[in-house]
């Protein structure tokens, strides 16, 4: 059975996290320790990490992240082949989780709409001669929407690059395609809230 992982074929995507509790398991599910594997090919080679833990409720966690997201000195070490993580996911197929879904997007500041939330806040002001102040990151909280938080920060390594993090909540049935579908969902939120576009690329 093939589990479909996001390939981050879009221009800006870097990272996806989908995690949550299984409140009412339909079957016996074993705990699984943390596993890390590579998948994909350069320049879109990525890592997938996952585990299942049992505290008060069963908790399933999976991350998919591009290798290029990490500094060269901090590349994750693999512990398994991706098939081991597929087997873990297969053990919870058909279960439903109250998922927290997070995505990270890498954007050149010049590509952001001038009237958007981030571009309007990213400004440098001269306080007095020789002294300046600049907003290099911020967090927005939302209510009444599946998206709960949008945050951004300036890259420490590349001039003019912004990392944007979007966090949301939704009910997810774990299927072979759930990670790919959740990537499409969080990417649509990025297009809408950050770039002001709908999925076909047109402006709102």
What are the average pLDDT values for consecutive 10-residue runs of the chain, which has 204 residues? 89 96 91 97 95 91 96 94 97 96 95 85 70 85 94 90 96 97 96 81 50
> What angle (nearest 5°) sits at the alpha carbon of residue 158, between those of residues 194 and 198?
15
Task: Determine the pLDDT at residue 200.
Answer: 55
* Eight-class DSSP state of 67: G
For the chain, what are the domain ranges? 13-193
Task: Determine the pLDDT at residue 130.
Answer: 77
* pTM of the shown model: 0.90
Beta bridge partners of 192: none
Task: Determine the pLDDT at residue 192.
Answer: 92
Task: Determine the pLDDT at residue 150.
Answer: 96
C-alpha separations of 64 from 92, 96, 145, 178 in Å = 18, 20, 24, 12
- The DSSP secondary structure of 100-138, one letter per residue, reads EEEEEEEEEGGGS-TTSHHHHH--EEEEETTEEEE--EE
- The DSSP secondary structure of 69-89, one letter per residue, reads GS-GGGPPPP-S-HHHHHHHH
* Eight-class DSSP state of 144: S
C-alpha separations of 139 from 40, 121, 190, 202 in Å = 32, 11, 15, 26
Task: Determine the pLDDT at residue 123.
Answer: 67
């Amino acid at each position: 059975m093939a589990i479909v992982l996001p390939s981050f074929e879009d221009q800006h995507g870097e990272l996806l996290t989908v995690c949550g509790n299984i409140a009412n398991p339909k079957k016996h599910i074993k705990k699984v320790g943390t596993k890390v594997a590579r998948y994909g090919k350069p320049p879109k080679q990525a890592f997938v990490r996952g585990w299942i833990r049992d505290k008060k409720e069963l908790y399933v966690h999976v991350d998919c992240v591009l290798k290029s997201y990490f500094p060269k000195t901090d590349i994750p070490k693999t512990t398994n082949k991706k098939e081991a993580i597929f087997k873990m996911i297969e053990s919870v197929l058909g279960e439903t989780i109250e998922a927290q879904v997070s995505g990270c997007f890498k954007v050149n500041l010049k590509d952001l709409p001038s009237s958007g939330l981030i571009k309007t806040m990213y400004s440098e002001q001269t306080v007095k001669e020789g002294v300046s102040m600049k907003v290099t990151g911020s967090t927005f909280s939302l209510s009444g929407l599946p998206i709960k938080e949008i945050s951004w920060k300036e890259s420490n390594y590349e001039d003019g690059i912004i990392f944007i993090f979007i966090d949301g909540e939704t009910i997810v049935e774990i299927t072979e395609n759930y990670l790919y579908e959740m990537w499409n969902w969080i990417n649509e939120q990025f297009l809408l809230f950050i770039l002001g576009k709908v999925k076909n690329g047109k402006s709102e």
